[in-house]
Structure 1
């Protein structure tokens, strides 16, 4: 029998119930052996539902007792740094929900400990495992040649809650869940919660972002963040982040270069459907669209994580990507505050 990666889940709240626990059950190369949550009742519900043998409400005890190769960190991002570092110090690899942490400094610490211990950290930006975006990436990296424009938009929908109710079994909550203080800055909050996905996708398709010029507007309970992006290869682009729009989910990317163009519409994540992608190949003078069956990016990222670790490969996106995403987010926030371009240091 092929070896499976033995995983412990930390955090049994909403994102774990909706996305990670179903993926952990279905993954061909993963065995879920332990679940942990400070709200023990949530861990017990997860264990009963998914036949998990070990249940904990103490993370340190799980790391001490459970025979796991890796930890899937699905806690609030305010706790990601301490959770990731503790796992790595115990000799476990980590798949961490996005964003990697709250600040650039925290991300730097995660990367430092990863390099020090040799334990790998994969960032849970699962859109890199959307087969439509992977098709787009292949064309951009292998056939497009020089890029001159890379842009993206991410508009959360007023129907978000309805989607969650219709596409999940419902979310079990507990008064004992560990909740950090609310992020008071609304721009920073949407950047950390939603913007990280778009930044990571833009870096996936366009390479490193080295400068941003941003503005933000808030009207009522809605916020719009718009940025002009400068890429390391000289390309330019825009990034539009809106929470929320009075319409359906609206997310996508476009890339233009000397060898053609790519356009992609990205679907609401819990639909588990690959993006609709169209490529124009200028060399052949033809449009191409990949056949794209329904696909669960949470499952695909988990199986890729396990494949990499079981084969001795490198995970992607890794802690470095998490740090670079965070640097871009911090630069967008700073630019909107100071009203001028902010550079992003790449190393």
Structure 2
């Protein structure tokens, strides 16, 4: 094996180009050994940036003996099969972008194969590795049990604005050309929004909710211009999950946990930003304490953890925890989609 661990990349879209490749430049324990994309021009261009081999076949990357760690950045529907294949190939670890799986059955199979092969799996939920968030847990762990209200809100301009700050994107997918906006389209939009955007911080929400399996979707609404609004009841906790896509408002990515006499506010940096962690503020009455920002963000944090894992300096994250995280998201996406479809049909019926 090389002095550094070889990374094999499956999928060379904006997440690979604008997040992982710039991050890997900061983590000397790794080098990119091979990249794959179904578009050969994109694969060759991205490989040229990092001096790697390239392919249009995921199986070739997984089988490559120079690849020690597989990074799964393919479309969501391919995640489970590629994670499983990498585990069966006996790689040192697999880092999969969110979501880890799209069904509970896929999630269960990942857990089975990872356990059977002993290959650890990491999910690229960058905020779970953010130094500001981790410092908040270290300093104010009591908020996990004290909070009765949780608010998770995102305000974002289109991703290309941030992607272009990070790198020059080749082969960016074109804008989605939607058809008729009907009940099925609304339901699909809700499911895609939860599994593509809300899933970033649902693992953090779940940390506050040991009874997460009792989650009840009280209301769900899709914003046709881009966004969603969900109200949940999880045990004794009220949870609001919201996002809006905007061209004009100030970007924001925030998690708030509120108790009777204590409140935590975590202000995360936007996606694709390569400097600085979250800033976390804990308020008790009229006093407030703050941690962050730290110099590094969660992207670097996840790769540094992976380096420690590959080199025997860290313990694997229990696969059961990662499976519970994705099952939580899958169930909310399913229930939210059903609520949105029913709401759309009720409104259409009333309009008649």
CA gap 1:291/1:266 in 2 versus in 1, 3 angstroms:
closer
Q: How does 1:66-215 map to 2 (within 5 A)?
A: 66-92=65-91, 93-141=93-141, 143-144=142-143, 146-165=145-164, 167-173=165-171, 184=185, 185-204=188-207, 206-207=209-210, 209-210=212-213, 211-215=215-219
Query: Which residue number corresponds to residue 30 of structure 1?
Result: 30
Aligned to 1:268: 270
Q: Give the gaps of 5 or more residues in structure 1.
A: 340-347
1:59 aligns with 2:61: no
Greater strand content: 1
Instruction: Report the TM-score when normalising by structure 2.
Output: 0.82
State the SS of the aligned residue for 2:90. coil
Alpha-carbon distance, 1:91 to partner? 0.4
| Alpha-carbon separation, structure 2, partners of 1:162 and 1:138 | 34
State the Cα distance separating 1:98 from its structure 2 match. 0.5
Q: CA 1:146–1:319 in 2, change beyond 3 Å: closer, same or farther?
A: closer
How big is the shift at 1:3?
Answer: 5.5
Instruction: Tell me the residue number matched to 2:8.
Output: 8
Partner of 1:289: 290
Which structure 2 residues correspond to residues 240-251 of structure 1 after superposition, within 5 A?
Answer: 240-245=241-246, 247-251=249-253
Q: Give the aligned partner of residue 330 of structure 1.
A: 330
Query: Deviation string for 1:28-67 (max 9, x for gaps)?
Result: 3222222222222222212211122x22222222233332
Indicate the residue corresponding to 1:342 in structure 2: none
Match for residue 226 of structure 1?
Answer: 230
Distance in 2, Cα, partners of 1:299 & 1:187: 30
Bigger drift between 218-227 and 12-21 goes to: 218-227
Closer, same or farther: CA 168–255 of 1 in aligned 2, 3 Å: same
Unaligned runs of 5+ in 2: 340-352
Cα distance in 2, alignment partners of residues 3 and 134 from structure 1: 30
Cα contact 1:150–1:206 (8 A) shared by 2? no
Per the normalisation by structure 1, the TM-score is: 0.83
Give the drift of 1:291: 3.9
Give the deviation of 1:133 after TM superposition: 0.9
Aligned-partner Cα distance in 1 for 2:127–2:205: 11
Provide, for residues 2-51 of structure 1, a one-character-per-residue CA deviation record: whole Å limited to 9, x for no partner. Answer: 95333211111111000011112221322222222222222221221112
- Whether the aligned pair in 2 keeps the contact of 1:158 and 1:244 (CA below 8 Å) is yes
Q: Does the 8 Å CA contact 1:146/1:259 hold for their aligned counterparts?
A: no
Q: Structure 1 residues 220 and 335, CA, compared in 2 at 3 Å: closer, same or farther?
A: closer
CA pair 336-145 structure 1, distance change in 2 beyond 3 A? closer
Query: Could you say if the C-alpha distance between residues 24 and 85 of structure 1 is closer, same or farther in structure 2, counting changes exceeding 3 Å?
Result: same
Tell me whether 1:48 sits opposite 2:48 in the alignment.
Answer: yes
Distance 2:60 2:157 in 1: 41
Q: Secondary structure at the match of 1:106?
A: helix
Distance 2:238 2:316 in 1: 27
Distance in 1 separating the partners of 2:162 and 2:26: 22
Deviations 1:220-243 (A, max 9, x none): 333423122315xxx513132224
The CA deviation at 1:68 is 2.2
Q: 1:261 to 1:90 in 2, by over 3 A?
A: same
Considering only aligned residues, what root-mean-square deviation do their CA atoms show, in Å?
A: 3.1
1:159 to 1:73, Cα distance in 2 relative to 1, 3 A: closer
Pair 144,6 (structure 1): closer, same or farther in 2 beyond 3 Å: same
| CA distance 1:329–1:174, change in 2 (3 Å) | closer
Deviation, structure 1 residue 77:
1.0
Could you tell me how far apart the structure 2 residues matched to 1:50 and 1:338 are?
44
> How far did 1:123 drift?
0.7
